[in-house]
Amino acid sequence: MLSRSYIRRYVNVKKMMRDVLSYKTGSIIVLIVVMQIMCILFVPRYCSVVNFRVLLRAIPELGIVAIGVCLLMIAGEFDLSIGSTLALTALIMSLLFKNGLNIWLSFLISLIAGSLIGAMNGLITIKARISSFITTLGMMMVWRGVVLVLSGGHPSTFLPPLSFHAILAGHIGLIQAQFIWFVGVAIFFWLLLENHKFGNSVFASGGNKEAAAAIGVNPDRVKLICFVITGLLAAVAGCIGVTRVTSISALQGQGMELQAIAAVVIGGTSLRGGEGTILGAFLGATIIYTVQNILLLLRAPGFYFQLFVGVIIIIVVTLNAMIKRR
Amino acid sequence: MERENPLIEMKGISKKFGKVEALKGVDFTINYDEVVGLVGDNGAGKSTLIKILSGIYQQDEGKIYKEGREATLLSRKDSMDLGIETIYQDAALVDQMSILRNMFLGREITFFFGFLDKKSMGKKSLEVLNKSIGIAGIKSPDQVVGQLSGGQKQAVATARAIYFKTKILLLDEPTSALSIKESQKILEYVQQLKEEGISSVFVTHNLYHVYPVADRFVVLSHGKKIKGVRKRDTSIEELSKIIVSS
Checking if the pLDDT of B134 tops 90, the result is no
Q: Are B209 and B175 in contact (CB under 8 A)?
A: yes
Residue B217 lies in a domain: yes
Rounded CA separation A40/A35 (Å): 9
Residue A123 has pLDDT above 70, yes or no: yes
Residue A192 has pLDDT above 90, yes or no: yes
- Same domain, residue pair B138 and B175: no
pLDDT averaged over every residue in chain B? 84
Mean pLDDT score, A60-82: 96
The minimal CB distance from B105 to the residues A5, A195, A200 is found for: A200
Inform me whether the pLDDT recorded for A1 exceeds 50.
no
Angstroms from B216 CA to nearest CA on chain A: 25
Residue B168, φ and ψ in degrees, nearest 5? -135, 130
Among A86-100, A154-168, B227-241, the range with the most confident prediction by mean pLDDT is A86-100
Q: Which of B142, B166, B190 is the last residue of a domain?
A: B166
Are B137 and B242 within one domain? no
Structure-derived torsion over alpha carbons of residues B206, B212, B213, B218, reported in degrees to the nearest 10: 50
Residue B191 pLDDT level (bands cut at 50, 70, 90) = confident
Whether residue B191 lies inside any domain: the answer is yes
Residue type, A5: S
Whole-number pLDDT of residue B177: 63
What pLDDT digit, counting tens, does each position of A225-251 carry?
999 999 999 999 999 999 999 999 988
* DSSP H or E segment with residue B71: strand B69-71
User: Measuring CA to CA, how many Å separate B156 from each of A205, B115, B149, B173?
Assistant: 19, 24, 11, 18
In contact, A143 and A81? CB cutoff 8 Å: yes
Residues B1, B77 within the same domain: yes
Q: Residue B26's beta-bridge partner residues?
A: B13
Answer whether A214 sits within 8 Å of B86, measured CB to CB: yes
- Are residues B189 and B122 located together in one domain of the fold? no
pLDDT digits (tens, 9 = 90+) for A128-164: 999 999 999 999 999 999 999 999 988 889 999 999 9
Q: Within this chain, do residues B184 and B122 fall inside the same structural domain, yes or no?
A: no
> Considering only CA atoms, which of A305, A12, A266, B124 is closest in space to residue A20?
A12
CB A168 within 8 A of CB A178: yes
Asked if residue A212 has pLDDT above 70, the reply is yes
Residue A278: which residues within 8 A CB-CB, separation 6 or more? A67, A70, A71, A186, A189, A190, A193, A194
Q: Note the Cα B43 to chain centre separation in Å.
A: 19
- Ranking A115-124, B107-116, B216-225 by mean pLDDT, the lowest is B107-116
* Structural domain of B146: 99-166
Q: Which residues of A touch B108 (CB under 8 A)?
A: 197, 200
- Stretch B90-113: mean pLDDT: 84
In the Cβ-directed half-sphere of A192, how many Cα atoms lie within 13 Å?
19
Chain A residue closest in CA terms to B113: A196
End-of-domain residue from the set B166, B199, B214: B166
Average pLDDT over residues A58-77: 96
Same-domain pairing of B60 and B119: no
Q: Residue A274 is nearest to which of B94, B122, B141, comparing CB atoms?
A: B94
Give the pLDDT score at A21.
55
**Does one domain contain both B229 and B175?**
yes
Q: Is residue B89 part of a domain?
A: no
**Total structural domains in chain B?**
2
Q: Is residue B138 part of a domain?
A: yes
SS3 content of chain A, % helix, strand, coil (to 5): 75, 5, 20
Residue B171 within a domain: yes
Most confident of A33-37, A70-74, A297-301, B197-201: A70-74
Between chains, do A3 and B76 touch, taking CB under 8 Å as contact? no
Domain A53-325 class, CATH top level: mainly alpha
**pLDDT tens digits along B13-28:** 999 998 888 999 999 9
- Return the residue in B96, B98, B145, B153 with the most chain A beta carbons within 10 A, the one to mutate for interface testing: B96
Indicate whether B166 pLDDT > 70.
yes
Q: Is A128 exposed, middle or buried (0-12, 13-18, 19+ CB in 10 A)?
A: exposed
Same domain membership, residue B79 and residue B173: yes
Which whole number is the average pLDDT over A213-217? Answer: 84
Residue A12, pLDDT score: 56
Give mean pLDDT, residues B105-124. Answer: 85
Cα(B155)–Cα(A119) distance, rounded to whole angstroms?
39
**Probe site for chain A from B75, B79, B81, B105 (most A CB atoms < 10 A):** B105
Does A2 sit within 8 Å of B126, measured CB to CB? yes
CB contact residues (below 8 A), chain A span 8-47, against chain B: 9
Shared domain for B160 and B221, answered yes or no, is no
Q: Which residues contact residue B177 at a Cβ distance below 8 angstroms, ignoring those fewer than 6 apart?
A: B89, B90
DSSP letters along A172-230, please?
ETTEEHHHHHHHHHHHHHHHHHHHBHHHHHHHHHHH-HHHHHHTT--HHHHHHHHHHHH
Q: A81-90, B163-172, B212-221: which has the highest mean pLDDT?
A: A81-90
End-to-end CA distance of chain A: 25
B54/A211 Cβ within 8 A: no
Given this model, what pLDDT does residue A298 score? 87
B93 belongs to a structural domain: no
**Domain containing residue B64: CATH number:** 3.40.50.300
Is the pLDDT at B173 greater than 80? The verdict is no
Identify the weakest region by mean pLDDT among A44-58, A278-292, A312-326, B199-213: A312-326
Check whether residue B130 and residue B194 sit in a common domain.
no
C-beta separation of A185 from A237 below 8 A: no
Residue in chain B closest to A75 (alpha carbons) equals: B96
Closest approach of chain B CAs to the CA of A122, in angstroms?
Answer: 22
Of B139, B166, B193, the position where a domain reaches its end is B166
- Residue A318 CA: distances (Å) to CA of A291, A312, A313, A322: 19, 10, 8, 6
Residue A292 CA, chain-centre distance (Å), reads 16
**Residue ranges covered by each domain of chain A:** 53-325
Overall pTM surpassing 0.90 (yes/no) = no
- Which of B25, B85, B17 minimizes the C-alpha distance to B55? B85
Domain identity same for B225 and B130: no
State yes or no: ipTM above 0.90. no
Least trusted range by pLDDT, from A246-250, A318-322, B80-84, B241-245 = A318-322
Longest dimension (CA), chain A: 70
Of B191 and A231, more confident: A231
Contact (CB<8Å) B130/A198: no
**Residues B202 and B106 reside in one and the same domain:** no
Q: Which residues contact B163 (CB under 8 A, 6 or more apart)?
A: B103, B124, B128
